[in-house]
Structure formats: C-alpha cells, structure tokens
Amino acid sequence: MATMTTETAVHTGRTALGPFPAAAPRVPDAPHVTAATIDVDAAHVQGPLTRVWESFGYDEFNWTYMPTGKRLLKTFAEFSGGGYFVRPHYMYCSGSGFGIPHWSSGDVYHEDADGNPYYDFTLLDQAYDAIVRNGHHLLVELGFTPRDLLPPEAAELTVVPSPTAYTNYEAGAWGYPPSDYAKWAGLISATVQHCVERYGADEVKTWLWELWNEPDIDYWRGTLDQYNELYTATVEAIRAVLPEAKVGGPAVTSGGLNFLKGFLDYTSRRNEPLDFISYHTKGCHFPTRDYKPFAEPADEELSPSSTKMLYDLREFNRLIGSYDAYAGLPVIVDECDAAVPAHFGRYDNRNYSFQNTEYYPVFQAKLMKKILDLNATETAQVAYATSWSFYFEAERYFEGTRSFLTAGGVEKPLLNAYRMLSLLGPNRLRTTSDAAWQVAELENTDGSSMPEEVDALASRADDGSIAVLVWRHIDDQYQTSDTPTPVKLLLRNLPAGDYRLRHLRIDADHSNSFSVWQGLGSPQDPTADELAAIHARQGLEEIDAESNLTVDGTLTLELTLPLPSASLLVLEPGS
C-alpha cells in the first residue's frame, strides 16, 4: 500500500494550448459557402465508424434517479438501441443527497465513534440502478474525499457561509487528499465488491474506473505526487476485487498537459495498470455573470471555438502517442463541450443562448466528425467524447444551460444531434466535400475559430442502408445568412435496385422545440395545449416526404442548407 506524501499542495502549472482566446470574437465579414458538392463512395468502407459520441456526464449525481433523470436515460437507450457511458460527479461526497446545480452527494462513507469505517450504498444504488437498468454503463468517477476522511489541513480552507455552503466542506474541502489511503482503499474495494454483487461481474467488467476529476485545478488540493500515490492505492483496491476491471485517469483540464505528463511518467516508470487515458476540453469560457437586465444583449458577442477543442485533442493525443506503451490505449475526452460551466445559461450571459438553438446540435455533429478525422491522423485514438450535459431541476423554460432537456421535460434541439448520430451505420464510408474545413489546418492555426463549412459523415449498415449526415455551420453563433446553400450530394457505386429515401432535418423550422416555444410567445407557464404543441415538435422531423427510387449505380441528390442546419439522408434498399 502506498504511503501518503505530506507536501504542501503545489500543482504542476497549467498550460494554455495554442493561440486561442478565451472565447471566439465575431467575424461579421466571414465569407459564406455559396455552393458545395459532397461525394460519397458507397463501395469504399474506411473502417468501423467509432461511436465517439456515446457518452455523457453531469455534476448532479442525485438527479440520476429523479423521475426526469430516469426518463432521460430511457430516452437515450430507446433511440440509440445501445448503452452510453454515463459519468456523474460527487459520488463519494458527504451530504444530504439533495442535488443542486454543480453539487450533489452519494454519502457512502462514514465512521463510527471509534473511527471504524462503514458504508451506505443507498443513494449509489438508486443512481446506478437507473443507469444500468436502462442499458447504459458506468464511467465511474471515483471522487471526492468524504467528510470523515478530510486531512487536518482541510480546516485551513475558509469560506463565507451561505445558504448552499453550510461549511467549508461544500465549498471545496472535499478536494483535499484523503487523510488515510488505507481507509480510502477500503472504500474502493467495498464499492467494487458491492457493484459486482448487485450487477454481476460481466456488467462491471465493461465499466471504466477513473480516479478523480480535473486534479490539475482545485478539484484536487494536493500535489501531483499525492495524486499518483492515490492512483496506485486505488487501482490496487479495484483489481484486488475485480482483476479484469478497466482503470485509468487522470481527467485533467485542457490546461493540464504537464500534469498528464507527470502522471504518465509515473505510471509508465512503475508499470502501473492503465487501461485508458482521460482529459477534457472546452470550446470557450465566457465572462461570468453579466448582472444585467435580461433583455439587454451581451457586452461582447462571443462564441465557442471547435478549432480550439480539436487543437487541444491533437496536443494531448500527441503526448499520449509519444509513450510507446500507451499509444494504443483508448483516449476518453470525458468532458468535451462547447462552453463552460454547464449550469450557466442565457440569464447569466447572453452568449450562452446558443445552447437553446439549432446552432448547438449542428456544432456537436460537426465536432464528432472532426474528432474522427483527427483519429485518422494521430496514433492515439479518441474512443469517447463525453458531452457534460444532462438536465437541471427547477430551471425556467429554455434557460440556456448545457442540457438535453429544459423545463416541462421538453427535449432541446441538442438531443436531436444524438438521434441523428444514432442512425448512422457501423461502417464509415469515404466521403469528401469541396467546402469542408480540414483538420490539417490545425498545423498553421492563428487561433481563429472554424469558418463556415459544408461537410458530411457517411455510413453503411449491414443491410446495405446508406446514411449521410450533411451540415452547414460556422463557429460564430451570431453569423446569419439569408441565402440557403445549394448542395449536390453524389452517391457512387451503389448496388443497383430499389431504395426508400428519408430526409431528416435540424434547422430553425425543423426538429426544434425552441422555435416552437418562441412562436407561442415564449411562455414560462405554458398551457397544457401549448406544452403539447412543443412536445409534438421536439423530436427529429422530416423536411421531405419519403420517396421511392430506382438506382443504377449512381444517385445525385440536391438539397439546400440554411445556416446553421444539418440533414440526415437515409437510403434503405427495398425488400
């Protein structure tokens, strides 16, 4: 068992990657794409289509088992037909089990009057039951320090008392390293054993066990050495119960490249078990709350940068790829989001408004495709890119938080990006666009966000179905266009025969509950009829009626794309 290092907490120093600003400024004179041609070779399979999007996470552990949380987990299972990896925060934090934005508690660890540990898995069971019974799997974030394991130096953290920060524990004392690594290891072993008994070893073997969250910032109030030592103790405890368990970390922020290097130096030198490597990226950080009248615009119109996110991924993956032993390990970007923090919305800063609109699902679809393109150029491969999104209890309609649902159980347009992605087949087809931004442009980036593009991701299913996801997008959320872009979609080398064509669309007028809500006057207390009308339009919608086609090898389709928008065209062979 590792012994605890008692050094003063000194982090390794954070590194900003690339020449990117905190948020991307307006580029009002950016050129539009006036026409585009997409070429899909239906006979050229590039390989399996890695479903990097099949993961999400959130801070509010206790909302997992709320009625709305369970329904959302079921929704993902129903449209995807398979399991996502789900990663909640705060599973080991002590507390009442009452979730609020950016805080929750599993309240597992306790000690009796003599200091002997005992465990209460009541809340953990409710959360994990909701996840597993809906066909999903756990990305177990092992954190944070229970109150009974705080070290003496945690008392040094001072805080002004407030209604939500009852003590310095809620304010961040949970970020200190555990006072006793043996007791921590006992908690880990007991958790793994309990999960194996409850869900079965075959299920738990699929889980990913990750130590902590963002230890390069104040989620961890210890040193790199202390984190490394805790990793050793944690992995030993997990593998003692379940030798096949998949373990990893360290889930650093995009500024944590030095911390990651220190961790990988440690694990490689000692040959520590490591089954995956994790880190995070965010597309921007807007200035914090405006404290302005809600009708007023932002002081400065800012946007996320997908280019910045991809640059982060490339730099981290190149570091990982430089270790021969780790180049083939799965990379988990288990917070991969356009903006931070998740619980801020348009009432905090108007720039978060994009999280309500069609801009965001198209951004997300574009990002996933570019991650796949990046995988094709780098040794280290992203296996999952986690959206740090779930839902928020008690928010107003279309608050603008980073979430899949808003008030009233209304699904936001963002969820439809995942519906579209779920309809892609298992094999990726060779696809080119003459109006696409290429990941090779990262080599000479000047920090600008991604310009307007038209690009596509295409797939083939085992039954011969072809699905092509096409979009028009620009990172500048304030850029508009009155003119739709004409797109020619050329599908070559199709087996001759009869096909059925479906055309699904996300834009301002389709698959967009937000637009429907606005059209009703943006009611914050919608009537039953108004709410029913919003719900009726929240899912994926067709822009054209289904049609039947006879194809002799080549098919040319023409469509027009407003800014922003995404179309999914599905070509199914006849019986």
pLDDT tens digits along 185-209: 999 999 999 999 999 999 999 999 9
What would the DSSP string read from start to end of 54-106? -EEEES-GGGTTSHHHHHHHHHHHHHHSSPPEEEES-TT--S-S--BTTB---
Average pLDDT over residues 112-121: 98
pLDDT tens digits along 305-333: 999 999 999 999 999 999 999 989 999 99
Q: Is the model's pLDDT at 144 over the cut of 90?
A: yes
Tokens in use for 476?
Answer: 């500048």
Q: What is residue 281's three-state secondary structure?
A: strand
pLDDT number for residue 6: 36
Average pLDDT over residues 521-545: 97
pLDDT number for residue 125: 98
Q: What is the percent of the chain where pLDDT is above 90?
A: 93
According to DSSP, the residues that pair with 497 across neighbouring strands are: 551
Q: How far apart are CA 282 and CA 24, in angstroms?
A: 12
Q: Is the model's pLDDT at 77 over the cut of 60?
A: yes
> 5 falls in which pLDDT band (50, 70, 90)?
very low
Work out whether the CA dihedral 66, 68, 69, 75 comes out positive or negative.
Answer: positive
> 382 falls in which pLDDT band (50, 70, 90)?
very high
Q: What is the percent of the chain where pLDDT is above 70?
A: 97
> CB count, 10 Å around CB of 558?
8
Beta 485-492 vs 555-561: how paired, if at all? antiparallel
Average pLDDT over residues 37-66: 98
Contact at 8 Å (CB) between 95 and 105?
yes
Beta 485-492 vs 36-48: how paired, if at all? parallel
Q: How far apart are CA 523 and CA 517, in angstroms?
A: 7
pLDDT tens digits along 476-507: 999 999 999 999 999 999 999 999 999 999 99
pLDDT number for residue 159: 87
> 9 falls in which pLDDT band (50, 70, 90)?
very low
pLDDT number for residue 325: 94
Query: In three state form, how does the secondary structure of 322-356 look?
Result: CCCCCCCCEEEEEEEECCECCCCCCCCCHHHHHHH
Q: Is the model's pLDDT at 4 over the cut of 60?
A: no
pLDDT number for residue 16: 85
pLDDT number for residue 290: 86
pLDDT tens digits along 228-256: 999 999 999 999 999 999 999 999 999 99
What's this model's pTM, rounded to 2 decimal places? Answer: 0.96
> 575 falls in which pLDDT band (50, 70, 90)?
low
pLDDT number for residue 355: 98
Alpha helices in 133-270, H assignment, sequence order: 181-199, 201-204, 224-241, 257-270
Residues 6+ apart with CB under 8 A from 9: 221, 222, 223, 226
* Mean pLDDT (the chain, rounded): 96
Q: Is the model's pLDDT at 8 over the cut of 50?
A: no
Q: How far apart are CA 430 and CA 493, in angstroms?
A: 12
Q: Is the model's pLDDT at 164 over the cut of 90?
A: no
pLDDT number for residue 481: 97
Average pLDDT over residues 524-553: 97
Q: What is residue 532's three-state secondary structure?
A: helix
Q: Rounded to 5, what percent of the chain is helix, strand, coil? A: 30, 25, 45
pLDDT number for residue 1: 40
pLDDT number for residue 11: 58
Contact at 8 Å (CB) between 104 and 93?
yes
Terminal C-alpha separation, the chain: 62
Average pLDDT over residues 82-110: 96
